[in-house]
Structures are given as C-alpha cells and as structure tokens.
Amino acid sequence: MWVKITHLTNEKYGNVLSPLGVEQAKKLFSNCKRRRRLRPESFSDNWPLLSPLETLLSSNVDNPADATNSSDAVPALDGVLSNDEPPPDQHLQHLMRGLDLSVAIRELRRQLAERETEVARLQRIIVEQANGYRARINSIAEFLKATADKKVAQDIHDYLGLV
C-alpha cells in the first residue's frame, strides 16, 4: 500500500521535489531523525569520515554548551540555510499549497467547461424544440384559418342560397 502511495505521490509531486523523489526525501528525513537520536559516542568514533552536514550535526551534539537544549539537532542546520531563504519544509509546504490550488483551479476550470458545454447543448435542444413548436403552431393556425374560411364560405353560401 505504501509503495503505491509513494509512486502516486512521486508522479503527482515529483516535479515539485526536483531531483529528490518522495522516497529520497523520506530517507533523508529518517536519517536526520536517526542521527538526532544517536549518542555523542557514536559520532566521535567516525569523526574523520563525516560529511559536512554530519559534522554540523555531530558538533551540535558534542558541544557541551548546547547539550542542555540539544534535544533536536536540526537547529545546527540554520547555518547551512541562508537567512532570506525559507526553510525547506515551509518552502515545500508553500509549493504544495500552490500546487493544490493550481490543481483545484484546473478542476474548477474543467467543471466550468463541462457546464458550458452542457448549457450550449441545452440551448440547442431548446432552440430545436422552439422551432418544432413554432412549426406546429403555424400548421394549427393555418388549419384553423382554412377551416374558418371554409366554414364562413359555407355559411355565406347557405345564407345566400336560402335567401
């Protein structure tokens, strides 16, 4: 089930995440969470092999001044991000909201187009029915006119014949 959801999400939001897929983002997030839970001893064993991001994370964990408030190692990433750039999660949420809005707008436009098509179809039906009723009314009026003329002519003939 999760694989299917992941694939559908990758298809839908893959262009928003650029080269990172949803699975890669999940792996990165879980790695960060796992690193936050690690003890300082595990970081000191692999100190020379750490990447710059891991160095930032481990230096925050190893720093005794920050040990009192280092329940979360993510604040160490603040130096990596520029001040004018929003955090990635906010940026991603903003993009997702924008994507949701654009999807909603596309859906509303599609519904509007469907309804306009339906209105045009109904207008054609109304015009066809109106033309049919007009033709019937005209034929009935012609019939009544012919019948009335015939009846008047017969009445005149009868009146003149009797007089």
| DSSP string computed for 89-120 | HHHHHHHHHHHHHHHHHHHHHHHHHHHHHHHH
**Domains identified in the chain, total number:** 2
150 within domain boundaries? yes
| b/e map 102-128, b = 16+ CB within 10 Å | eeeeeeeeeeeeeeeeeeeeeeeeeee
Band of pLDDT at residue 29, cut at 50, 70 and 90? confident
User: Cα–chain-centroid distance for residue 129?
Assistant: 39
36-39-44 Cα angle (round to 5):
110
The pLDDT of residue 159: 85
- Higher-pLDDT residue of 153, 27: 153
Q: What is the DSSP letter of 38?
A: S
Q: What is the DSSP letter of 69?
A: G
Residues 152 and 91 in one domain: yes
142 within domain boundaries? yes
143 within domain boundaries? yes
Summarize pLDDT for 141-162 with one digit per residue, the tens.
999 999 999 999 888 888 888 6
Band of pLDDT at residue 11, cut at 50, 70 and 90? confident
C-alpha–C-alpha distance, residues 14 and 151, integer Å: 83
The pLDDT of residue 82: 47
Reading the block at residue 60, the tokens are 């925050």
119 within domain boundaries? yes
C-alpha–C-alpha distance, residues 40 and 65, integer Å: 14
Containing structural domain, residue 22:
1-37
99 within domain boundaries? yes
Residue type, 148: A
What is the dihedral sign for C-alpha 109, 112, 113, 114? positive
Contacts of 10 (CB under 8 A, 6+ apart): 21, 22, 23
Band of pLDDT at residue 125, cut at 50, 70 and 90? very high
C-alpha–C-alpha distance, residues 59 and 152, integer Å: 114
Residues 27 and 93 in one domain: no
44 within domain boundaries? no
